[in-house]
Structure 1
Amino acid sequence: MDNEVHRGFETLAIHAGQEPDPTTGAVVPPIYQVSTYKQDGIGGLRGGYEYSRSANPTRTALEVCLAEIEAGTRGLAFASGLAGEDALIRAVCKPGDHVIIPNDAYGGTYRLFAKVAEPWGVEFDPVPLLDVAAVAAAVRPETKIVWVETPTNPLLAIADIRALAQIAHDAGALLVVDNTFASPYLQRPLELGADVVVHSTTKYIGGHSDVIGGALVVADEALGEQLAYHQNAMGAVAGPFDAWLTLRGIKTLGVRMDRHCANAERMVEMLTRHPAVREVLYPGLPGHPGHDVAAKQMRAFGGMVSFRMESEEAAVRVCERTKLFTLGESLGGVESLIEHPGRMTHASVAGSPLEVPADLVRLSVGIEDADDLLRDLRQALD
C-alpha cells in the first residue's frame, strides 16, 4: 500500500495488506483454507507459498496490516499472544540470559517466565517500571530484554516507553512492549523507541471475543527475519480463519476504541464519587502517578478500569451482582466484562511478588450504551 498517499490509521486498518482479490475483485481477502500449494516445478513457488505453516495468504494479509498500523517493518501472527511471547523469548534469549519484567505483569506472562523460561535457564526480575531508576539498577550484563506493559494488567500502571528504550539500548538489550491494553490506535511503541511490540490480538484488535490470536511487530528487518524463522520452526501460527477474523476486527478498531474510551471515562467519573469505592485506577485521572506520561504517549486513556473496594468480600460481591457487565475473563471485546483478578486472571501469581490486591475489581468497558452500563454498575455497588 502507498503510505505516501494513505497514512491515516483508519485507512491503513481497512486497506493495508488487503487489496481487492486479483482474480475475482473481492474487496475482502479470501480465507485460504489450505495446507499446501502446487509448485511450478521443483522450487518454483507461486508467490512464495509452499506450506501454510510457513506462510498463508490470509495470514500474510493480517501480518502486513499489523506492521502498518504499528508503524513496523514486519508483523508476525501467532496462535495466541503467549505463543508469540514464547517465540520471542526463545529467539532472543539463551540459558544464562536475564529479562526485566513489570512487577505487575499479566499473570500469563509471569507464568511463562517463572514456569517455562526460568527452568530453561533464563532469569528474570520483576521491577516497578514507573521507577526508571529502579529499572536501570536492575540491568545486568546478561540482560537481553526489558519487557514492558503499559498500561499494565490489572493495575493500569504506566511506563515511559522512550525513557526505558534508552536504558535498554544503552545496555545492549531490546525493549519489548506489550501493547495489548492500549492497541495500536491509542499507542505506537515503535515510534517511541521500542524494538518489538507484543499483542494478544484476542483482545482489542480482534475485538469481538470470537478468536484467539497473538502478534509480534518489529522495527528492525533483521530481527523480523530471526523471529519469522522461529515462528516457522516452532509452528504456533495463526490459522487462516483466525487470521481472517482478526483482520476483520482491525477494520473497526479505531471507531471501537473511541467508544471504549468514552464509556470508560463515564464509568470512572461515577466510580470516583461512589462511597463504596476506595480507589479508582485509571491513567486518565490527573492524580494517577502515570497520568502525565500517558498523556504524552497515548491518544486516549483506554477502555480498561480497575478499582478497589473496602474488602475482598465486597469486591467479589460487586462482580457477582452485575447483569450487563458479564462476569468473565479476557477483555477488549465489544461487550463489557467484570472480573476479580485475584481469583481469576491473576490467580497464577498468588503468593508471588506480582500478587494483586484481593479487593481489586477489573472492568473491560464495552461499547454498549453508557447509561445502561452506569445503571448496572451502580446497582451492583449499592
Structure 2
Amino acid sequence: MATFTVVPSDSPLPEAERKALMAEPGFGRVFTDHMATAVWTPEAGWSDHRIGKLQNFSLHPSAAVLHYAQEIFEGLKVYRHADGSLWLFRPEANAARFARSAERLALPLLDEETFLTSVTELVRQDEPWVPAYGGEESLYLRPFMFASEGFLGVRPAAEITYCVIACPVAGLFQGGVSGVRLWVSTNYTRAAPGGTGAAKCGGNYASSLAAQLEARDHGCDQVMYVDGVEHEWLEESGTMNMFMVTADHELVTPGLGTILEGITRDSILRLADRHGLTPVERRVSLTELRQRCADGTVTEVFAAGTAAVITPIIGFNGDGFEVKVADGEPGKTTMALREHLLDIQHGRAQDPFGWMRRVL
C-alpha cells in the first residue's frame, strides 16, 4: 500500500461559490478542489503518489491513450449519514474490478489497498464537497488509469497515469422516479466473447453512443443490447444491467460473460431474498421477454447501475414491435429494492453485508 503525499490546493473554491454550485450540481459538471494521482513506469513501478490541486494534464500529441484507447475507469459514491460521517459503498468491489479491467487492457496492476487509500484520502481532503444528508445527493468518485506515454507503436504503453477526481451529484430523478422505454438494437453490439465487454473501459462507452442516438431517433430513452450473433439474447441496457421480476417471484438477470459485472447488480441479487425473490442468473432471450410481458408472467423490469441506482423500465420497442411492461408504471418491487439499497447507502437501514466503509 502506498502513502499519498497531500499538497493542499493554493486556490480552493470559496465557500459561497462552492455552496452555489452544489445547490444544483447535476451529474459530472462540478468538480472538487483536489485529485489523486500516481505514475507507473516499468523501471520504477508506481511512484509519485499525491493528493494535489485539480488541474489539467499535459500530454504529448502522440500519447497512446489518444490513439489506441488504452485506459480504464471506475465509478463509486460517498454518502453523508445523519451524524455527518462519510461512507463509501463497496469500494473493495470497485478496486477488484479495476484490477480485472487493467489486466484485460494490458495495464499495470494497482493494488487494491492503494486504490482504497487514493479514494479515501481524496474524500478526506474534499470533505466539504460531500452533499448534506437528507436526499439522494452524493459525492461521485471517478478513478481512472490511462496510457500517457508519447509513442505511436502498437504495444502496451511504458508510462501510465492513475488519477481520481470527484464531483458532487444530484439524484437522477429529481421530480420523482419515472420509467424509461428501451430500443432493442440489432444494428449495434455491446460486446462479444473474447472482447472487452467485462472490462470497464472507455472504448465500450464510445461505441455505445451511436446506439443511444439510434434509440432516441426511435422515441426511446436508452438502448437495450442483444448478442451480436443471433440478435436474440439480452445483454445490457446502455450503461446498466437489466433485471426481470416474475409472477412466480424470481429476480432474473442475464448471466455474466460478455457484460460488465455491475456492483449494483450484485448488491440487488444479494438483497433479493429479503424481498421474497429468488435470484436467478441465466440467459434471457428477447422472445422470452416479449412473450412473458404479454402474458403477464414478467411483472416488472428494471435496470441497475451506480449513477441512477435502479431505473424502472416500462416498455421496449424494436423493429416491428412494441412491448409494454405490466401497466406501464414503475413496479412496486422495483421501488422497494431501490429504496432498500438507498437506505443502506445513506445509513437509514442496517448494513448486514458490511458494504459501507467509513471515511470520516
TM-score, length basis structure 2: 0.27
Which is strand-richer, 1 or 2? 2
Which is helix-richer, 1 or 2? 1
TM-score, length basis structure 1: 0.26
